[in-house]
């Protein structure tokens, strides 16, 4: 299975408060390498004022998402390929650019680069 940057997938996502519990949800693929697939959590909830890294997905319908959605860039995680259930669609390039820019900011702000 080949995964590409900007694809939206339905995956088995570990819960933050208990990584042993899994919730099926959509994610955006940012990168794939030998370690896994760098993925950003997608939620149907609006961007939170208290999290500056939430990005509304403007073209959510073009990405084949059922509801208006937000990319929670601060909830980026590395998933194994076997966590990926099925492809939902592809992000519009403008949404992907905004998410990538916010991910770079998230890394800078948290001392990762």
pLDDT digits (tens, 9 = 90+) for 6-51: 999 999 998 888 888 999 999 999 999 888 999 999 999 999 999 9
Count: domains in the chain: 1
Q: What's 95's domain CATH number?
A: 2.30.30.110
On the question of pLDDT at 113 being above 80, the answer is no
| 76 φ/ψ angles, rounded to the nearest 5 degrees | -70, 145
Whether residue 98 lies inside any domain: the answer is yes
CA 101 to chain CA centroid, Å, is 13
Whether residue 2 lies inside any domain: the answer is no
Beta bridge partners of 11: 25, 84
Whether residue 48 lies inside any domain: the answer is yes
Say what the pLDDT of residue 92 is.
98
Whether residue 26 lies inside any domain: the answer is yes
Whether residue 35 lies inside any domain: the answer is yes
Domain that holds residue 29: 7-109
Whether residue 49 lies inside any domain: the answer is yes
């Amino acid at each position: 299975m080949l995964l590409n940057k900007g694809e939206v997938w339905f995956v088995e996502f570990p819960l933050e408060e208990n990584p042993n519990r899994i919730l099926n949800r959509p994610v955006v693929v940012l990168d794939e390498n030998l370690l896994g697939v760098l993925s950003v959590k997608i939620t149907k909830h609006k961007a939170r004022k208290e999290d500056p890294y939430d990005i509304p997905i403007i073209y959510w319908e073009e990405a084949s998402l059922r509801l208006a959605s937000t990319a929670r860039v601060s909830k980026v995680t590395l998933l194994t390929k076997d966590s990926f259930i099925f492809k939902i669609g592809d992000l519009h390039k403008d949404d992907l650019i905004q998410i990538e820019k916010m991910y770079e900011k998230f890394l800078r702000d948290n001392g990762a680069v």
